[in-house]
Amino acid sequence: MDNGQSIRLLNLQLFAEGEDKTEQPTPHRLREARKKGQVMKSMELNAAINMAGMVSFFILIWPYFQNNLFAMLNHYLGALPVEMASADFPAIFIMRLSLQQFMGLVLPFLLVAFFLGFMSNVMQVGFLVSTEVLKPQLNRLNPVEGFKRILSRRSLFEMVKSILKVVIFALVCYFYLRSQLPPMLLLLGQEAWVSASLLGKVLVGLAYRVAALFFILAIIDFIYQRHEFIKNLRMSRRDVKDEYKQLEGDPHVRSRVRERQRAMARERSMAQVPEATVVVTNPTHLAVALRYNEKEDGAPVLLAKGAGILAQRIREIAQDHHIPIIQNPPVARLLYREVEIGEEIPGNLYQAVAEIMALVYRLQEKERLRRRRAGA
């Protein structure tokens, strides 16, 4: 190979490697990515669902939480010191009691938080278990790749999003709490339950505003994550062709297989020509072999058809087996074009084929009479 050919081959290889990935990912590529644990998911949407769900649950369960909290405080600040002073209380008993009361308050929130986190992931991803993400990836130890990830567009987006989230949340909290400051200052000297009630309302209002902001950010993040996910899975035209070849087989191989199947079908049809009642020809270019058995067939059946050499072969077989050959170009063309091997002829050809069959029967009757006379 000379220098010019080498350079051209190198240029073609570089062009193939640098082909732009402009095609949308195929369903197969999406399925393979899912098997590897690569799915589209917005963590901001999970956070928004968890935030809104926990606030709503806290409002719903507030009477239970308040009663149990006050009962626990009364016990610890009132009855428990008296009981400890009048009898020997082991430290393990106090620890167990404290743990039980603490879990009674916290466990419902933990269960709801787990349920919301699980359902928010299932809503986005569906139920998926993949061990691929747990496998060690040596490329993550590459400092160059790590540096690229740090300076990637995705990292820049996450950084800007985090800064904006902090700034927006700080502004929302500041302006909302400032608007609630006058009624909160009136709590000085009020009873504890009044202060707790107002503070609870203020915190709930703040939590709902933060949750609403979470949802706004979640929508933006969801759109961005979906765009990045599809972009990362895009394919070049060569990738699509290679995948198609892998799934469906090489087109050249499929073409050879189909040709071989057609050849086998032709061979089988040639073997059926001796069973034919008549062969209709074009007269030389086309040949169609028909069978009609009144006891077995509801209508004439096409046993074989061919053009060119195949037509000549059908005629030769018909001559060897003394099968009548009728020249009728229009009917031969219609049969060749509209009827497949093994099918009965369609209704629009009944009349034409019936006339051919009648001619065949007349010829056969004449042949039988001739043989009788010759025998006599």
Edge-to-edge strands, sheet with 325-327: 301-307, 286-291, 278-281, 325-327
The packing angle between helices 350-375 and 329-338, to 10°, is 120
Lowest-confidence segment of 132-136, 162-166, 315-319, 372-376 by average pLDDT: 132-136
CA distance 247 to 249: 6
Query: What does the pLDDT average to over 175-195?
Result: 76
CA distance 110 to 103: 9
pLDDT exceeding 90 applies to what percent of the chain? 3
**Angle ∠(220,223,228) on CA atoms, nearest 5:** 120
Residue in this structure with the two tokens 């006891």, named with its chain if needed: 295
Of the pLDDT bands very low, low, confident and very high (cuts 50, 70, 90), residue 375 is low
pTM value? Answer: 0.48
Residue 143 preceded by cis peptide, ω within 30: no
CA distance 161 to 221: 9
**pLDDT of res. 252:** 65
Judge whether residue 238 has pLDDT over 70.
Answer: yes
- Which range, 129-143, 251-265, 269-283, has the best average confidence (pLDDT)? 269-283
**pLDDT of res. 280:** 92
pLDDT in tens, 38-50: 777 788 888 888 8
Query: Which CATH number is correct for 270-375, 3.40.1690.10, 2.30.30.90, 3.90.550.10, 3.10.20.30?
Result: 3.40.1690.10
**pLDDT of res. 47:** 83
Query: What does the pLDDT average to over 190-196?
Result: 68
Of the pLDDT bands very low, low, confident and very high (cuts 50, 70, 90), residue 17 is very low
Q: What is the DSSP string of 33-59?
A: HHHTT-----HHHHHHHHHHHHHHHHH
Residue in this structure with the two tokens 């500041």, named with its chain if needed: 174
**pLDDT of res. 290:** 92
Judge whether residue 233 has pLDDT over 60.
Answer: yes
**pLDDT of res. 12:** 40
Q: Amino acid identity, residue 369?
A: L
pLDDT in tens, 130-164: 666 556 665 556 666 666 666 677 777 778 888 88
Q: Which residue has the higher pLDDT, 185 or 61?
A: 61
3-state secondary structure of 279: strand
Lowest-confidence segment of 87-91, 199-203, 361-365 by average pLDDT: 87-91
Residues of the chain with CATH 3.40.1690.10: 270-375
Residue in this structure with the two tokens 């490329």, named with its chain if needed: 139
> In the chain, at which residue ranges do the beta strands (DSSP E only) sit?
278-281, 286-291, 301-307, 325-327
- The overall longest dimension of the chain from CA atoms, in Å, is 142
Averaged pLDDT score across all residues of the chain: 77
Query: What does the pLDDT average to over 114-134?
Result: 75
Q: Which residue has the higher pLDDT, 19 or 341?
A: 341
CA distance 290 to 103: 88
